[in-house]
Amino acid sequence: MFLITNFGDRQSADPEPTPQPTGSAPTTAGTGAGQSKNPELHEGERISSDAISFPRQSGDWSDRKRLIKQLVNSSGQYITLQTDFDGKNDWYADMFVGGLSNATPFNGDPKATATTLLGQVHKAAYGNIPVTFKALQSGPVKRSDKAGWYFKETVTAKSPKVTSVLVLTVAVFDLGDGTAVAYISDIPVNRPDLRAVESKVYEGINVG
């Protein structure tokens, strides 16, 4: 009964063309800005997008490309929670990683960029469903020695068709080359099983 809607056709796994990550720098040693300098971090059963990845989950979770346009070359997993809740859209639980488009500028400050991305998620993710947001937690975060900043919020959606409360997580990590990568998830609070999976995924993020 919940989650991000209007993210495109989930039957297609191929992402649409997207802008290049911000902060482009000259290519060195065959690796450009925003690309992984340590591919071994993302090998094996992982969901990856260039320089960020998380452990792939089995069971009811399905792989998926494309979340919101601000998350470039995004990859993730989702579970359908409610089909055709308004006759044409589904609600999902999602976990995604990706780079950042030019619409989400990065100037070396993960907190500022995470703030911008959070606002973009607010506007892009929930379609015409009325929602309210309430801050839960925020602060510095580090994965694979890459510094970042995260926000957690509750998202309460109310409509004649669906009522739900989600936990939205947005985290941005500095790659140290003038670019950043991000993680976005939103999980219903009344599904402790899904929240446990997302916690495992969040702690298992690799960056670099």
The CATH number given to whatever domain includes residue 48 is: 3.40.1000.10
Query: Which pLDDT does position 158 carry in this prediction?
Result: 82
Query: Which pLDDT does position 11 carry in this prediction?
Result: 30
> Between 9 and 51, where is the model more confident?
51
**DSSP, res 89:** -
In a domain, 26, yes or no: no
Count of Cβ atoms closer than 10 Å to residue 17 Cβ: 4
Per the structure, the complete domain to which residue 107 belongs is given by 39-207
Return d(Cα 51, Cα 164) in angstroms, integer.
33
Query: Which pLDDT does position 2 carry in this prediction?
Result: 34
Residue 16 has pLDDT above 70, yes or no: no
Residue 6 has pLDDT above 50, yes or no: no
Q: What angle do CA 174, 5, 56 make, to 5 degrees?
A: 50
Q: What is the mean pLDDT of residues 151-169?
A: 89
Return d(Cα 43, Cα 199) in angstroms, integer.
20
Residue 106's nearest CA partner among 31, 38, 23, 201 is: 23
In a domain, 22, yes or no: no
State the total domains in the chain: 1
Q: According to DSSP H, which parts of the chain are helical?
A: 110-124, 192-203
**pLDDT class of 157 with cuts at 50, 70, 90:** confident
Percent of the chain with pLDDT over 90: 69
Query: Which pLDDT does position 30 carry in this prediction?
Result: 55
In a domain, 31, yes or no: no
Residue 14's nearest CA partner among 56, 75, 92 is: 75
In a domain, 15, yes or no: no
User: 58 by DSSP, 3-state: which?
Assistant: coil
Q: Give the model confidence (pLDDT) of 75-130 as tens digits.
A: 999 999 888 887 888 888 999 999 999 999 999 999 999 999 999 999 998 878 88
Residue 146 has pLDDT above 70, yes or no: yes
